[in-house]
Chain A
Amino acid sequence: MQLSEYKKGIALLIAGLILIPLPFIIKSQHLMHILILAGLESIVVMGFVAQHNVKLITFSTAALWGIGAYISGFLSTRFGLNFWVCLPLAGIGTALFAFVLGSLVIRAGWVTFLMISIVFSEVFVETLGHLSVLGGWDGIAGIPRPAIGSFVFMSKSAYYYLTLGLTSVCALIFAAFYKSAIGKAWTAINQSPDLAASVGIDIFKYRMIAYVAAAFTTGLSGSLYAHYSCYLVPQTFGILRSLYLSINAAVGGLYFFISGPITGSIIIKALPEYLRITDKYEPIFEGAMIILIALFFRRGVLSFFRRGTARSL
């Protein structure tokens, strides 16, 4: 079922009315923290969904996120660069990296891409841990907070609006992609790679575009993450983080390209806060949850409201 433009406008308006005054309603700092993280993760998950849409399954999203974060953290602590300079540089740097890695791996098909992504995210953490330039296992500390003139982003609500802005920009970037001819080619590849190739769609090129675009927005998100947490350690960007990010996508629904990641990230980030289990058994429950979601819940939360088609944002 396609939503008409009118209904989409209403949905956006409601979302805006809920999201914009939220810091004035919620008093809990911890809840604001969760919302900010969910916003940052939703950008990354949008990239994951875009890659899944061209049948590239990746488990290195967190590693790309980490590349953006480390570029930003390194530049701002070593060279004293401003956040507003670091942000685009992190995006471009991550996109460049993805371009090099993608040109090596994407041609080999999705199975190899999947395996290499897992290897890459393991190696990424290991390499960061051994590079003393980037702080090794102790990480980078003391990353400056973003500022406009004399106004420094200190409070959670200031960061909330910054995150909301960045998430909206990334959502717009992806929406533009999905609306354009590139998005139509992505859909064609999603539905049948063989058929798409037979009508002259260059699969490699369009996969590359999806991968690099996802890396760009992921880098932006990583940069804001670095300037929000002010402290980076390699273990944050391991394979488990990537797995959880992909679970966000699955919970929201893999065929809801923009609303799915946002909904899924908020649910997955907020849920553990209300389901506190003892530390020792937590990974067991998490693993069981992942398997149960995969077995019984594959279409995502949003599919309760409307059926996800390959063209629904």
Chain B
Amino acid sequence: MQRGANADVSYLQASRIEKGGCMSFQLFAQLLLNGLVMGSIYVLVATGFTVVYGTARVLNFAHGHFYMLGAFIYGGLVLLGVHWALSLIVAGLALGLFGLITWHLIFKSLYFDVFLTVAASIGLGLIMVQGIIVTAGERDIIVPSVFQGSFEIGDITISIEKLAIIGISLGVMLALNFFLRTKTGKALEATTIDQDAASLQGINPGRMFEITMVLGSTMAGIAGAVIVPYLTAQAHMGNPITLTFLCIVVVAGHGSIKGAVIVGILFGLIKSFGYHYIGTMDIILLMIVVAILMYIKPWGIWGVEFKRTI
């Protein structure tokens, strides 16, 4: 299971050109584009996790497997011949519903008991991965991409698929931004800052927790659905991204959406360039960066020193 920890960069092998020699501009542009693609997916997943943690205080370590489930739902629907946009929406909604169900069945009653929450979420992840292995098998499933073709600017070839991934992620993040400006979004933010004070103002915290859980799970599902034509659907695809989004949230600070966006893109670029120059041991480089940042900024770059986190 751990062997797949670097699976999400294996696609870079396609663009991996001979090592040595000076870096051409073409290579740089390709690496940059790959980094942005991976970074935008990291942003979606990490933001989903951080929203859920920030408001509902649920450390959902099955979040990476929610992403996997989204990828499988989208892939299954597309392979059945459903239109891609409809499949994307269905994958997002299905994951939102799934998040709501898990909140009511599991996380609600484990509220604030962190150890049991984490243990239960890892157990949930186990069930999800094995459920997928039982139904779909452990092999890689290739999902056809709907955006074929590419265009050229000067020497650089840009595939439309990569642009579409970046575009959809951007759209989802903008939608989240608009949602946070509505009345419900403001109530959500108030609950994040101080739950007791928010409930005194007539905000129902339980409803807010439901909303965040749906929001976070939907974002994980959409991220999985968007990236799956680019990678392949695989039952263990949630493991490497879990590792990455945990690092992102730790570096950015818990509950900070802005931080998650910036650090997510940064991590995508580090992953892309690091994989090209260092190989599969790039995770060590990432860990060193995280360790140094942890020492300088223990609460994360944009993190707020919560009283509860002592």
Q: Would you call B310 and A238 a contact (CB within 8 A)?
A: no
**A130 to B284, alpha carbons, bound, how many Å?**
11
A250 at the interface (CB under 8 A from B): yes
B298's contact among A107, A126, A197, by CB below 8 Å, is which? A107
**Do A129 and B3 form a contact, CB below 8 Å, given A107-B298, A112-B298, A294-B116?**
yes
Q: Would you call B283 and A126 a contact (CB within 8 A)?
A: yes
**Which residues of B lie under 8 Å from residue A104 when comparing CB positions?**
291, 294-295
B1-32 CB mask vs A (1 if < 8 Å, else 0) is 11101100000000000000000000000000
Q: Would you call A295 and B109 a contact (CB within 8 A)?
A: yes
B61's contact among A118, A194, A281, by CB below 8 Å, is which? A118
**Helix, strand, loop or mixed for chain B's interface?**
helix
A40 to chain B, nearest CB (A): 21
**Which residues of A lie under 8 Å from residue B291 when comparing CB positions?**
104
A203 at the interface (CB under 8 A from B): yes
B203 at the interface (CB under 8 A from A): no
A81 at the interface (CB under 8 A from B): no
Choose the segment among B118-126, B176-184, B216-224 that binds chain A (4+ C-beta atoms closer than 8 Å): B118-126
B103-126 CB mask vs A (1 if < 8 Å, else 0) is 000100110011111111011111
**Which residues of A lie under 8 Å from residue B130 when comparing CB positions?**
280-284, 287
Number of interface residues of B (CB under 8 A): 53
> Contact size class for A?
35 or more
Q: Would you call A194 and B310 a contact (CB within 8 A)?
A: yes
Q: Would you call A284 and B131 a contact (CB within 8 A)?
A: yes
B281 at the interface (CB under 8 A from A): yes
Q: Which of A116, A193, A247, A281 is most buried by chain B, counting CB atoms within 10 A of its CB?
A: A116
B250 to chain A, nearest CB (A): 5
Residues of B participating in the A interface, judged by any CB pair closer than 8 Å: 1-3, 5-6, 59, 61, 106, 109-110, 113-120, 122-127, 129-131, 133-134, 239, 242-243, 246-247, 249-250, 254, 280-281, 283-284, 287, 290-291, 294-295, 298-300, 306-307, 309-310
Residues of A participating in the B interface, judged by any CB pair closer than 8 Å: 52, 57, 59, 104-105, 107-112, 114-116, 118-119, 122-123, 125-127, 129-130, 137, 193-194, 197, 203, 234-235, 238-240, 243, 246-247, 250, 254, 280-284, 286-291, 293-295, 298
Given contacts A52-B115, A122-B239, 16 further A-B contacts (CB under 8 A): A59-B122, A111-B59, A112-B298, A115-B59, A122-B243, A123-B243, A126-B2, A235-B2, A240-B126, A250-B119, A283-B126, A284-B126, A286-B126, A287-B125, A291-B120, A294-B123
